[in-house]
């Protein structure tokens, strides 16, 4: 289930080990880009369905009444969340999804149905509008609170370390959220090929409370001993 051979100790092409955290992150992102490119559409669909089942059956998620959930984009190789989002709405969970305000800055706005989302440039990632169907400003997660926040990423390890795409959206968001409310349970979902031996990280990089892969809670509460 778990991919091996990549991480902080990954060697460069010259045989020397990247010395800085930034260099190690760049090397790992390049490696993960190759892995994700080789992931077929069928593998992506199959693993995404398995991950959704794992998440929906996870006790911490089942008991959550409010969740923050990213909306997957067809252009990005990430775990698909369409079915997961609909399942959360059917279960009457309060669902908050990202709204990008600017470079590296986002909010989490509440939606009531999938049709509340529309693609936004440059990647075509579906986002909610500022107003709900009644014309009122959408509630924000910082106002109502989150029990669980589900995040994407590029690579993860079994100690809860995460490598993002480098823009810092989720690191900044969580810091801003924690300045106003108690930290939610932060969990990541990822394909099997995204799990590595070690993810290089810095003090500002958020740590996961749990990492969920196809059929397995890899790290955190509910993980197999």
User: Binding site membership for ATP: which residues?
Assistant: 25-29, 162-170
pLDDT above 70 for 9: no
Strand, coil or helix: what is 192?
Answer: helix
pLDDT digits (tens, 9 = 90+) for 32-64: 999 999 999 999 999 999 999 999 999 999 999
Nearest partner of 69 among 53, 54, 87, judged by Cα: 87
What average pLDDT score do residues 65-77 get?
A: 91
pLDDT above 80 for 112: yes
What average pLDDT score do residues 8-13 get?
A: 42
Nearest partner of 46 among 150, 191, 211, 219, judged by Cα: 191
pLDDT above 80 for 120: yes
**Domains of the chain, first to last:** 21-219 (3.40.50.10420)
Average pLDDT, the chain: 89
What average pLDDT score do residues 72-99 get?
A: 93
Helix 82-90 to helix 41-57 angle (10° resolution) is: 30
What average pLDDT score do residues 155-180 get?
A: 92
Q: Is the full-model pTM beyond 0.95?
A: no
Q: What is the pLDDT of residue 205?
A: 87
Q: What is the pLDDT of residue 115?
A: 94
- Written as one string, the DSSP assignment of 5-61 is S-BTT---TTSPPP-SHHHHHHHHHHHHHHHHHT--HHHHHHHHHHHHHHHHH-HHH
Task: Give the angle subtended at the CA of 182 by the CAs of 222 and 154, to the nearest 5°.
Answer: 55
Nearest partner of 188 among 146, 223, 217, 224, judged by Cα: 217
User: Binding site membership for substrate: which residues?
Assistant: 71, 78
Q: What is the percent of the chain where pLDDT is above 70?
A: 89
User: Binding site membership: which residues?
Assistant: 25-29, 71, 78, 162-170
How far is the C-alpha of 51 from the C-alpha of 215, rounded, in Å? 6
DSSP state of 197: S
Q: Which residues pair with 155 in a beta bridge?
A: 163
What average pLDDT score do residues 203-209 get?
A: 89
| Rg over CA atoms, the chain | 17
Burial of residue 47, with CB atoms counted within 10 A of its CB: 0-12 exposed, 13-18 middle, 19 or more buried: buried
How far is the C-alpha of 101 from the C-alpha of 96, rounded, in Å? 15
What average pLDDT score do residues 203-207 get?
A: 86
């Amino acid at each position: 289930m778990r991919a091996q051979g990549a991480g902080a100790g990954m060697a460069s092409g010259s045989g020397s080990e990247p010395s800085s955290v930034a260099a190690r992150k760049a090397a790992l992102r390049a490696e993960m880009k190759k892995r994700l490119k080789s992931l077929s559409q069928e593998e992506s669909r199959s693993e995404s369905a398995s991950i959704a089942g794992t998440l929906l059956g996870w006790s911490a998620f089942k008991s959550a009444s409010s969740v923050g959930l990213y909306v997957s984009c067809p252009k990005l190789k990430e775990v698909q969340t369409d079915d997961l989002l609909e399942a959360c709405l059917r279960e009457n969970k309060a669902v908050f999804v990202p709204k990008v305000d600017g470079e590296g800055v986002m909010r989490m706005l509440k939606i009531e149905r999938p049709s509340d989302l529309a693609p936004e440039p440059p990647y075509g990632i579906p986002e909610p509008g500022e107003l709900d169907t009644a014309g009122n400003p959408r509630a924000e997660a910082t106002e109502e609170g989150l029990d669980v926040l589900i995040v994407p990423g590029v690579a993860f390890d079994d100690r809860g370390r995460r490598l993002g795409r480098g823009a810092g959206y989720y690191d900044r968001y969580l810091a801003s959220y924690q300045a106003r409310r108690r930290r939610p349970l932060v969990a990541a979902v990822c394909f099997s090929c995204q799990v590595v031996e070690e993810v290089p990280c810095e003090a500002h990089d958020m740590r996961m409370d749990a990492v969920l892969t196809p059929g397995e809670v890899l790290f955190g509460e509910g993980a197999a001993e």
